[in-house]
Amino acid sequence: MTTPLQKLTASSARGPASVFPSRRAPECAATSARSTPTTTYCVSSGPFTPRHQHELPEGHDHQRSLKRFNVCEDCPVFDGLYEFCQTYAGASVGAAVKLNKGTYDIAINWSGGLHHAKKCEASGFCYVNDIVLAILELLKKHERVLYIDIDIHHGDGVEEAFYTTDRVMTVSFHKFGDYFPGTGHIRDIGYARGKHYAVNVPLDDGIDDESYHSLFKPIIAKVMEVFQPGAVVLQCGADSLSGDRLGCFNLSVKGHAECVRYVRSFNVPLLMLGGGGYTIRNVARCWCYETGVALGIELDNKVPEHEYSGYFGPDYNIHVAPSNMENKNSQHSLNDIRVQVLENLSQLQHVPSVQFQERPPDTEFPEADEDEEDLDERNDPGYYMEMDDSNHADTTCKSLDHIQDEKANMDVEPELMGQGSPKKVNEIVKGVEAITVAMPSSSKVFGENSVIADEQSSRKGQQEEMNRIYGEKL
């Protein structure tokens, strides 16, 4: 079964592109850069279904564990959750591997971009932060990686992960105020070695193409000048488009895509990811057009006839006119934001260097299996309901039994605790523990107390190998 986005893109974009099926991320890939609490979180969200959840009595330890990791409310358990996380995270990591090998200049994973997930919890319907995993993969080859976020929501999970390093710069353009997740103040600029390497551009309702570009282009130009990244990750959340059901910006598809075009013009290896977007037909329009932009192709405005054409009526165009909503971003406020952000960037050390260190091995994905299930079959809503849950029940219970015995004790450097805002430091300590691989001043990736539930002998061997590679503090 083909989704409207897949069909529209396949019908419209003709160019020198290759399409690769996503390989599910092996469990060690999702936990290789993480410590005990996150390992437990990943394992606890494994083969666990709504049926398991409903069978648990109220107040059961496992129910409390799900709440501890925020797997509830806006991050619910659903059938196929674990495979879903493996698939979109595997696609982002796999795309980063392709870029690292130099075989492609641009890689796209529209199913990725789940930027709210934290080290130890799900958030905002984001369960595993594929962006962080992809950046960690890119850092194996590139000294510096730039992350740009044009989703209407602040990219809090990615910023938090790299808040204390100068090897990753995060730049987020987002709605700020009484709006989820409530973070991303212009004064949040990073900490310790990462000071000034977190850039936040807070915006108000109704911002249009012209106002948005008046900030985006000069800021990104300055970032590229002073940071000179080896690779760029661009999160293209489409909820910043006009008419989004949850958004409140007024960008057109062309205005949104102009950001992609501008970043592409720097000719730096580029990983494009999806993100938010709640008016589905406009999400399909946007990402289809931006696929064309990535390929250097200007698509026809008319949507080709296909089985989902009805979603794009009555005009059947890719481009939709923005609304007449009020732009609450005054020219004065935009100028103030631009001046302050550029002033912060001017304080950066140009092209920060990286210490010599052992290069971690590339992530390896298993070769395609001829007997692997058909990807279209997985799109059948009844597919996961037909799975034999009995094979997972015992493993699930064993995995979850470890949760109650573990405490999220973070290994924080003394100098970190002695500086800056205690509130901000506590947030960073809770969520980060410098999870980046092979970064100066990072904490242990696998500590003495690391535990992986259900340690079968093969998995234990993988763990020992990862400890050997990443275990020492740099």
Let me know the angle formed at the C-alpha of 399 by 43 and 162, rounded to the nearest 5 degrees.
Answer: 25
pLDDT for 448 beyond 60? no
pLDDT for 408 beyond 80? no
The tally of CA atoms less than 13 A away on the side-chain side of residue 303 is 28
Q: Which two tokens stand for residue 5?
A: 């986005």
Whether 243 maps to a domain, the answer reads: yes
H helix or E strand, kind and range, residue 198? strand 198-203
The CA distance from 27 to 25, in Å, is 6
Supply the DSSP string of 31-47, one letter for each residue: HTT--HHHHHHHHHTSS
H helix or E strand, kind and range, residue 86? helix 81-100
Q: What is the pLDDT of residues 112-129, one digit of tens each?
A: 999 999 988 888 889 999
Q: Which residue has the higher pLDDT, 250 or 39?
A: 250
How many domains does the chain fold into? 1
pLDDT for 376 beyond 90? no
Pairing of the two strands 198-203 and 270-273: unpaired
In this prediction, residue 360 carries a pLDDT of: 74
Whether 369 maps to a domain, the answer reads: no
Whether the CB-CB separation of 99 and 231 falls below 8 Å is answered with yes
For residue 231, the tally of other CB atoms under 10 A from its CB is: 24
In this prediction, residue 471 carries a pLDDT of: 45
Which among 227, 215, 147, 151 is positioned nearest to 186, based on CA atoms?
Answer: 215
Q: What is the pLDDT of residues 80-122, one digit of tens each?
A: 888 899 999 999 999 999 999 998 999 999 999 999 999 888 8
Whether 432 maps to a domain, the answer reads: no
Mean pLDDT of the 167-176 span: 97
Mean pLDDT of the 167-191 span: 96
The CA distance from 385 to 364, in Å, is 30
**Averaged pLDDT score across all residues of the chain:** 76
What is the reported pTM? Answer: 0.71
Whether 78 maps to a domain, the answer reads: no
The CATH number assigned to the domain holding 237 equals 3.40.800.20
Question: Residue 214 belongs to what domain range?
Answer: 4-21+101-344
Place of tokens 């990402």: 287
Q: What is the pLDDT of residues 257-312, one digit of tens each?
A: 999 999 999 999 999 999 999 999 999 999 999 999 999 999 999 999 999 999 99
- Catalytic entry in 116, 154, 256, 402: 116
Whether 278 maps to a domain, the answer reads: yes
Whether 356 maps to a domain, the answer reads: no
Whether 365 maps to a domain, the answer reads: no
In this prediction, residue 20 carries a pLDDT of: 73
pLDDT for 226 beyond 70? yes
pLDDT for 172 beyond 90? yes
- Work out the pLDDT band at 455, boundaries 50, 70, 90: very low
In this prediction, residue 389 carries a pLDDT of: 44
115 catalytically annotated: no
- Work out the pLDDT band at 449, boundaries 50, 70, 90: very low
Whether 88 maps to a domain, the answer reads: no
DSSP code of 59?
A: T
Q: What are phi and psi of 201, to 5 degrees?
A: -120, 95
Mean pLDDT of the 364-387 span: 52
